[in-house]
Amino acid sequence: MYSIKSFENGFEYIEIQNEFASAKIALQGAHIFEYVTKRGSLLWLSEISAFQSGVAIRGGIPLCWPRFGSLDSSLPQHGFARTEMFELVEVIEKDAATTEILMRFSDSHATRQIWDYKFVLEVKITLTQELKIELTTTNKDTKEMMLTQALHTYFNITDISNITIKGLEEKPYLDTLTNEQRSDKNSITVDKEIDRVYQEVDRDIILIDIKKEIKLHTEGSSSVIVWNPWIEKCSKMSYMNKDAYKEFICIESANAFDDFKMLKSQKSHTLSLIASF
């Protein structure tokens, strides 16, 4: 079952519940900010996140589109999709345990002033024993478009000191804090600020916490970002408590840096993530 609800300020979201999971998805940014099963909450959401028109939600899975980061100074950081209103196309309750939600965002006069392309961006979210999100871009223009993007997923954890990330061993990465290209043989643990863009990723990633393991399977991508702001940066970030860095790790399925996509006219590309725990 599903319903469309809103906060007191009119900010709208979809609430879904089936046999295995419940979720909340904002119409702004097609932003899933809650996914809960009997095993607990998969996604982290800031206690002081704003649910306001034009303000990005801090937590859940923001959509960085059509640019990841600030690589293109002509666009807002992480693009503009995460603060745009999406159309709810349909909700399909396939059975008692499976719900599919399709949302869509298309170009307009306003978007073409920022990014001069005609496009259709569709987000399909499937809720079952696992969470699946598919981000499909279709180039509706007559010219080729460059695309970088990310599913900027905040995972809920017991404590940052308790986690290990496996699956990125020996993969090359850019440490954006030092601008160094590196690779490591060991699994990832976090005891300071981390901001790495991994490339050539071709296997599943496992996030190990003391109470759970989360398996991440990505398609349409060979780049992954691992990010946690740590103490100093966290204390300065908007809509985030000063110790929030202990509560989450971001592992982002992406098309970033050398993994950018060039879409010819009328062609599509899908970036997808399946998270199970």
pLDDT value for 235: 96
Average pLDDT, the chain: 96
Contact 16, 2 (CB under 8 A): yes
d(Cα 51, Cα 229) in Å, to the nearest integer?
22
pLDDT value for 211: 85
Structure token digits, residue 165: 């990330």
pLDDT in tens, 207-234: 999 989 999 999 999 999 999 999 999 9
Task: Look at residue 72 and tell me whether its pLDDT is greater than 80.
Answer: no
> With bands split at pLDDT 50, 70 and 90, how would you rate the model's confidence at 42?
very high
Q: Burial, 95: exposed, middle or buried (Cβ in 10 Å; 0-12, 13-18, 19+)?
A: exposed
User: Domain 2-276 maps to which CATH number in 3.30.930.10, 2.70.98.10, 1.10.357.10, 1.10.10.10?
Assistant: 2.70.98.10
Query: What mean pLDDT is predicted for residues 4-19?
Result: 97
Looking at the chain, the whole-number percentage of residues with pLDDT higher than 70 is 99
Q: Can you give the length of the chain in residues?
A: 277
Domain ranges of the chain: 2-276
pLDDT value for 77: 86
Q: Burial, 12: exposed, middle or buried (Cβ in 10 Å; 0-12, 13-18, 19+)?
A: middle
Task: Look at residue 71 and tell me whether its pLDDT is greater than 70.
Answer: no
Query: What mean pLDDT is predicted for residues 192-201?
Result: 98
Q: Nearest Cα to 25, choosing from 91, 107, 69?
A: 91
Contacts of 115 (CB under 8 A, 6+ apart): 66, 74, 75, 80
| Measured CA distances, 146 to 72, 83, 139, 259, 265 (Å) | 11, 20, 10, 11, 11
> With bands split at pLDDT 50, 70 and 90, how would you rate the model's confidence at 75?
confident
Looking at the chain, the whole-number percentage of residues with pLDDT higher than 90 is 96
